[in-house]
Amino acid sequence: MSRFAAWAVPSLLLACAISACGSTSGNGVASKSANGIVSAALGAIDGAKSAHISGTVLSAGTPVSLNLDLVSGQGGRGQMSQGGLGFRIEVVDNEVYINGSPTFWHHFGGAAAEQLFQGKWLKAPASGQFTSLAQLSSLHTLVDTLLTTHGKLVRSGTSMVDGQSVVGVRDTTKDATLYVATTGKPYPVEILRTGSQAGRITLNRFNEPVSLTPPSNAIDISKFK
């Protein structure tokens, strides 16, 4: 499992690959400075109970995809993949649960691991070598990383994203733009990056109910140490 842990850490760089921007809106936020928009967006996220985040970006030339429902202070659940290696993940009660595809297990453990773990959940503490995965399922940690790692910011005006009125803030050094809702709460709606690390991440379904239940009959990874 050390190879898997080594891959999980770079996966957290997904945040760095698409960050470099920030913005927010609503109740006059569109008139704020670029940095003021970022601050407002972070404030809105701090008050959110849950959110859905999904999309795909390139990290070192490899596509990284995620589709996660996150609950503030509790964890999250969903699917992730890198370079075609997909797995389901749930973080709850300070535990990380992983259910990998056959290709995923074969890549990290060969045919034996594929046969042993296929269709099964593995459980590990949300710390140590799995800390990065636990952080990827933390609403505030993930979004704060996305919005606070950036270069010089400039406003890019108002527009529409998926039917939502937004204001944009562009990071001039990383070819990335964050779009934030200009109505209701100033939630971040989309992060769009161009260039060699092109990709799109969307955030929606704020404060909708999300049920986190530990998978039954999960295999404790400590048994394999």
Rounded to two decimals, the pTM is 0.81
Residue 73 located in a structural domain: yes
- Report how many domains make up the chain: 1
Residue 45 located in a structural domain: yes
Q: List the CATH number of the domain containing 82.
A: 2.50.20.20
pLDDT in tens, 164-200: 999 999 988 878 899 999 999 999 999 898 877 788 9
Contact 97, 80 (CB under 8 A): no
* DSSP annotation of 127: S
Residue 224 located in a structural domain: no
Residue 146 located in a structural domain: yes
Name the band, by pLDDT with cuts 50, 70 and 90, for residue 27: low
What's the domain range around 124? 2-209
Strand locations in 34-163, DSSP E? 50-59, 62-71, 75-82, 85-92, 95-100, 122-125, 153-161
Q: How far is CA 177 from the centre of its chain?
A: 16
Residue 218 located in a structural domain: no
Q: Which of 56, 49, 59, 92 is nearest to 208 (CA)?
A: 49
